[in-house]
Chain A
């Protein structure tokens, strides 16, 4: 999917080291921020910066494994699939982000 997308939909957002390990930074968008997470294994993931529960800013949560815990009510959201962990139910929109030799590129078109 990502491969066939036009380059215009991908933007460079910074470098891997701009995001603290086990942390996140935001990319400001007109219709709400996107949170870009970095795991302890230096993987990067991007989700809409809004918990499916009450819209809490996931970028401010604690990152552990491939998950983030929302700071408002401790919902746990999977970074790879945007899905809430049981017993909670809900999804957050996912975005593709790629690490090309340390430079991070974000696709502004949400994943299906």
Chain B
């Protein structure tokens, strides 16, 4: 075959649709998207998934769609031809063609082998019985999940990383699990004896059984597995046997193509095999006599391979230093490097059996050579970095074992965590993403969430262990940015105006529809977008009560449907229970509705309401009708940027500590305020004494009853960011408490930015500003309360009644047409 001209596209064929192969392709696309026709062959019938998340998949903590890395659309969008479920059976290196099982033949200019590894099956009689399974792919996990539904006893052979994760997953699925291990300590390749012992004790406490130093001699059973026999003659029963003793590189195809292989496919530092047109990456390769079964080395190999394929840079792969974490929820374990040591190393050991903490740092010539951490692994990344950098630790050797914050001389109580780390510290060990990369990406692409960072940088997208650290970086980075330019925030990308400017224009120029606002203020998009439309709708309605009307098309679905959309497209229904007080009639109506409409889940909410989850959209009007007719129930507005709930305790009516009638005050407050729309959701609470059982101090407006009156609190929040409420003032009578609350709500309605809770609102305007308008200026307080009461006459209609009895928006709840 003749070589192609430089301007012609090269044909790249990738054998193996796993993590190593696809990462190489992703890296290649980033450098040279247009230079290759790419064809991918995969043996499994799926897109590309994250194999190291199979353990959480088995444990039921993740679903298959959550562990997919690239969907089929991704292949299409990037012009990649994917042959999944069609393994390549031969490579003709002379003619440069691969032959797949289906008969498909594809020529190549460059070939990438990423065939991964196969699970090692121990050669004992009975290893082919039904119910003997390995732990390698999605099919294996499905097999285990199926077995766990009907079978009871599982035996996992292998007490290494994979075996323990499999055992934990099966236990989570309800099976009785025994782990069989040949050695006397678990994970002997990653842990020293004390850490292994702590791990075993902790897993035993969770319900796993162990048989240590046990050599499996045979798997028993006729057709299906019935038991396991060990050397020495002991037997145990088993309905399922999982072999998790190790992996071996999958080199059959490479070997049959005449490529030099030993334990793996031999590659050089540019990931080329003995045939320079053929590259190999991942678990199938042997590089400088090492093979790898962890994810981080794969990424390093992929990067080098991609740059070499793209003919840019001169990166070389020089082997990987690896670290290990166990993916068993609730067990913190970290190990890296040479943790056993030799005559030239010294150990620094810290042990606190009661707290379940063990740390061992192995030093060679005052440099970290390895580490094992159990129970407290927060400094694992730091030790790993010291090890990779070869840092001399003699300066802080005496404090080394206590962790970074202490060793580097700071006050450990002030440890600011990841924000203080140097830029080259690796945050995501799976994907090799450093702190500097993440911070740069946040700034460059305006990222505001862990997910967005993951999408851009891949950090946190593999095992997920570093997501907390990523979240801290997002917060730290954005925190600075937000403080620097608080006034530059525009409503959305459709305008350069701020929330305050837009609202002022709506008031000054008497604008009453979102279209009029966009027109008057020269919006860039005639229709606006999903961010500005709900905001404009709110500002119009709040500024012009009785004049401006809510526009359905400009409201989020929950406020349009008057129910909360759930992740599966069903809805939840929360009726109002004023002050959290209910009665048999209401409860009976709820029970009847739950049965009649097959409501799968009925749950008590945090705001003292009852939530019916999983209702079908077309049933909503009938559900509301039944709730109203049988129980007298109305909408709880649990779906709206509105007054949500007033939570109360029983107060002095029942409680021996209660000093005021908190329940009645709460019920009255809720009758005054229900139905009012706000910039964001708004929660209230009334506690009958300073013990504060209604948790008034984390509410938007809270009342704590005192012997002598009422303490009023504002701006509390128990959600994403915990914020204790500020004390606004103390008042003497319930009438005053109500007037102050209405005044505060109205002030927030007039000044709060859409989507801004009271906590950030108060931090923006300052508590003194609120006090000046609500507490110190009695006239202004009365005016605010009056404006609120005026607007309520237009707001207090029950949307459920309108929709179930008056047929309002009937078409929202039924399909346009049904096709059978």
Among A11-67, those with CB < 8 Å from B are 11, 13-14, 18-23, 25-30, 33, 36, 39-40, 52, 54-57, 60-65
B815 touches A33 (CB 8 A): yes
- Known A-B contacts A13-B816, A40-B527, A63-B527; A25 and B811 likewise in contact (beta carbons under 8 Å): yes
Binary CB contact string for chain B from 543 to 573 against chain A (1 if under 8 A, 0 otherwise): 0000000001110111011000101010000
A25 touches B554 (CB 8 A): no
Which of A54, A89, A108 is the most central at the interface, judged by chain B CB atoms within 10 Å of its CB?
A: A89
Which residue of A11, A19, A29, A90 contacts B71 across the interface (Cβ within 8 Å)?
A: A90
B818 touches A28 (CB 8 A): yes
B553 touches A62 (CB 8 A): yes
A109 within 8 A of B: no
Interface size class of B (residues with CB under 8 A): 35 or more
A74 touches B530 (CB 8 A): yes
**Interchain nearest-CB distance for B445 vs A (Å):** 8
B820 within 8 A of A: yes
| Chain B neighbourhood of A71, CB < 8 A | 556-558, 565
B816 touches A14 (CB 8 A): yes
- Closest A residue to B65 by beta carbon equals A54
Binary CB contact string for chain B from 801 to 820 against chain A (1 if under 8 A, 0 otherwise): 00000000001000111111
| Chain A neighbourhood of B526, CB < 8 A | 40, 65
**Interchain nearest-CB distance for B492 vs A (Å):** 10
A60 touches B557 (CB 8 A): yes
| Chain B neighbourhood of A91, CB < 8 A | 73, 76-77
Which residue of B528, B556, B815 contacts A26 across the interface (Cβ within 8 Å)?
A: B815
B553 touches A63 (CB 8 A): yes
| Chain A neighbourhood of B529, CB < 8 A | 62, 64, 69
B525 within 8 A of A: yes
B561 touches A60 (CB 8 A): yes
- Closest B residue to A35 by beta carbon equals B816
| Chain A neighbourhood of B552, CB < 8 A | 20, 23
B819 touches A11 (CB 8 A): yes
| Chain B neighbourhood of A63, CB < 8 A | 527, 553
**Interchain nearest-CB distance for A24 vs B (Å):** 9
A2 within 8 A of B: no
Rounded to whole angstroms, the CA-CA distance of A109 and B569 in the bound complex is 24
Binary CB contact string for chain B from 515 to 542 against chain A (1 if under 8 A, 0 otherwise): 0000000000111111001100000000
Which residue of B525, B554, B567, B817 contacts A27 across the interface (Cβ within 8 Å)?
A: B817
B567 touches A13 (CB 8 A): no
Binary CB contact string for chain B from 308 to 348 against chain A (1 if under 8 A, 0 otherwise): 00000000000000000000000000000000000000000
| Chain B neighbourhood of A30, CB < 8 A | 819-820
| Chain B neighbourhood of A18, CB < 8 A | 811, 816
A72 within 8 A of B: yes
Which residue of A20, A29, A57 contacts B819 across the interface (Cβ within 8 Å)?
A: A29
| Chain A neighbourhood of B561, CB < 8 A | 60
- Known A-B contacts A54-B65, A56-B569, A89-B77; A64 and B530 likewise in contact (beta carbons under 8 Å): yes
Rounded to whole angstroms, the CA-CA distance of A74 and B556 in the bound complex is 11
**Interchain nearest-CB distance for A65 vs B (Å):** 5
- Closest A residue to B534 by beta carbon equals A62
Rounded to whole angstroms, the CA-CA distance of A21 and B107 in the bound complex is 53
| Chain B neighbourhood of A40, CB < 8 A | 526-527
12 A-B pairs in the complex with CB atoms less than 8 angstroms apart: A22-B554, A33-B815, A60-B560, A62-B533, A71-B557, A71-B558, A72-B567, A76-B530, A89-B74, A91-B73, A91-B76, A108-B819
| 14 new A-B contacts at CB < 8 Å, known A52-B71, A62-B557, A87-B456 | A18-B811, A21-B553, A22-B527, A25-B815, A52-B73, A54-B65, A55-B569, A61-B530, A62-B554, A64-B525, A72-B565, A90-B73, A90-B74, A108-B819
Name the 6 nearest CB pairs between A and B, nearest first.
A69-B530, A25-B816, A22-B553, A28-B818, A60-B557, A62-B530
